[in-house]
A = this chain, B = another copy of it.
Amino acid sequence: MDYMNAPGRNHLFVPGPVNIPESVLRAMNRNNEDYRSPAIPAMTKILLEDVKKIFKTTTGTPFIFPTTGTGAWESALTNTLSPGDRIVSFSIGQFSLLWIDQQKRLKFDVDVIESEWGYGADLDALASKLAADTAHTIKAICIVHNETATGVTNNLNSVRKLLDHYMHPALILVDGVSSICALDFRMDEWGIDVALTGSQKALSLPTGLGIVCASPKAIEAAKTSKSLRVFFDWNDYLKFYKIGTYWPYTPSIQLLYGLRAALDLLFEEGLENVFARHRRLGKATRLAVEAWGLKNCTQKEEWVSDTVTAVMVPAYIDSAEVVRRAWQRYNLSLGLGLNKVAGKVFRIGHLGNLNDLQLLGCLSGVEMILKDIGYPIKFGTGVAAAASYLQNTIPMIPSRI
């Protein structure tokens, strides 16, 4: 029996992989092609230029790896750092933790700054470390822009300001997996050295592309990094960029066409409008959570995430049961609580190609599930809180006015 056979659409509200727009599905519905023909390089050339726009960079160099976010992390680290290099890394949730695990296993000297889960990166601790590091032993700061496990968004610009303040030359490496194309991200303005994302997040594609963007300083670092790497080596890509064939090994034809279609959609909507839509959906979700009398895992307003909300459940409820019910009865896919917050939070992803009525359908589903499992909810309260905010703020659809 096929699990996906259930009446109506699957309501996909995990914080990735997210819903793929129909126009993107169409674009990918095609046979393979010879990637050495003139067609693919011509397409790649424009794609690389356009990818820079989603990072808001004009000076950065993008790499489109046939990999996932985990691979993109590895590419960011191994190209810019050598084993033994000291890095400062913020541990604020499951994904920053996994990245730190990778950093350690790749033999970097990781100086971890811990926060309670639900809190953002501890910038005061960073300041202390930078102040103390007059010898500039810290080679890089690794930070997750948006921690997907707790729904916490860090302020990247503050990191840049701290480094500038201490005139510290450390690189800033940013995991933008659940932020880029959803939350405002300004690589050049904020002086980010490496930023990365995965195709299955706000780009709304299938998994399979790990997109990394490197500042000139990062590109320079890649020339001397002693970390062993081949598949993830930027220098191989740069060699092929120069000769204009772009790909050191076979890319996914379908994902390239899909990326083209995904970027077209984002640019047609306008990146700033895309960000505004995510702010709207994030706020609406938080208003619903509040109306239900539940708490957001995020502990301060400054860190709330507009791409994912981790909802805390009372102690007498197992959040995994919320997720199980959602799947088994409502064809709704919610995110589990991970690691330290397993059983304690469930997550609503509200990123990527999504609109207001989809979210409201999800929220009404959550209300029914909460009822199912014995939480004293008043039907319609969360939906009403969300809708009364949304109704004031939704723009007309430009193509239909």
Residues of A bordering B, CB below 8 Å: 1-12, 14, 16-20, 22-23, 25-39, 42, 66-71, 73-74, 83, 101-102, 105-107, 198, 200, 206-208, 227-233, 248-255, 265, 268-269, 274, 277, 327-333, 335-336, 353-362, 364-365, 367-368, 371-372, 378-381, 383-385, 387-388, 390-391, 394-401
B32 close to A25 (CB less than 8 A): no
Complex Cα spacing A394 to B329, Å:
7
Query: Is the Cβ of A39 less than 8 Å from the Cβ of B383?
Result: no
Nearest chain B CB to A390 CB, angstrom units: 7
Those 3 A-B pairs whose CB atoms lie nearest each other, nearest first: A361-B361, A380-B384, A8-B355
**Nearest CB in chain B to that of A394: its residue:** B329
The one of B3, B200, B231, B268 in contact with A399, judged by C-beta atoms closer than 8 angstroms, is: B3
CB distance from A51 to the nearest CB of B (A): 18
Q: Which residues does chain B contribute within 8 Å of A16, judged by CB atoms?
A: 250
Per assembly, the copies of the chain total: 4
Other than the given A4-B399, A207-B253, A361-B362, 6 more pairs (CB < 8 A) read A7-B354, A71-B231, A356-B365, A364-B387, A380-B380, A380-B387
Q: Tell me the nearest residue of chain B to A333, going by C-beta.
A: B34
Q: Out of B18, B27, B331, B379, which one reaches A397, CB within 8 Å?
A: B331
Q: Is the CB of B329 within 8 A of A397?
A: yes
Bound Cα distance A364, B364 (Å): 9
**Residues from chain B with Cβ under 8 Å of A397 in the complex:** 6, 328-329, 331
Q: A7-B355, A328-B400, A332-B357 are in contact. Are A31 and B38 (CB under 8 A)?
A: no
Which one, B6, B101, B208, contacts A355 given CB within 8 A? B6
Cβ–Cβ contact A330 & B394, under 8 A: yes
Q: Which of B208, B230, B367 contacts A208 (CB 8 A)?
A: B208
Q: Is the CB of B7 within 8 A of A206?
A: no
Residue of B nearest to A104 (CB): B230
Q: Given contacts A20-B31, A26-B30, A29-B29, is CB(A357)–CB(B331) below 8 Å?
A: yes
Which of B39, B331, B361, B372 contacts A4 (CB under 8 A)? B39
**Hey, which chain B residues are within 8 Å of A379, CB to CB?**
380, 383-385, 387-388, 391
Question: Are B400 and A38 in contact (CB-based, < 8 A)?
Answer: yes
Q: How far is the CA of A368 from the CA of B391 in the complex (A)?
A: 6
CA distance A95 to B166 in the complex (A): 49
Interchain CB contact under 8 A, B69 and A68: no
CB within 8 A of A31: which of B3, B22, B231? B22
Bound complex: CA A250 to CA B243 (Å):
33
A98 CB to closest chain B CB, in angstroms? Answer: 8
Q: Which of B6, B39, B248, B358 contacts A70 (CB 8 A)?
A: B248
Contacts of A42 in B (CB 8 A): 3
A151 to chain B, nearest CB (A): 17
Q: What residues of B have a CB within 8 angstroms of the CB of A198 in the complex?
A: 250
Q: How far is the CA of A360 from the CA of B356 in the complex (A)?
A: 12
Q: Are B390 and A368 neighbours in the complex by a CB distance under 8 Å?
A: yes
Cβ contacts under 8 Å, A71 to chain B:
66-67, 71, 231
User: Considering the chains assembled together, what is the distance between the CA atoms of A3 and B23 in angstroms?
Assistant: 12
Question: What are the residues of chain B within 8 A of A7 when measuring CB–CB?
Answer: 269, 274, 277, 353-355
Question: Do B38 and A20 touch across chains, with their CB atoms under 8 A apart?
Answer: no
A375 to B157, CA, bound (A): 45
Q: Nearest-CB distance from A35 to chain B (Å)?
A: 7
Q: List the B residue with the shortest CB-CB distance to A332.
A: B357
Q: Is the CB of A391 within 8 A of B362?
A: no
Q: How far is the CB of A243 from chain B (nearest CB, A)?
A: 13
Cβ–Cβ < 8 Å partners of A66 in chain B: 66-68, 71, 207-208
Instruction: Name the residue on B nearest A22 (C-beta).
Output: B30
Partner of A32, one of B8, B18, B233, B365: B18
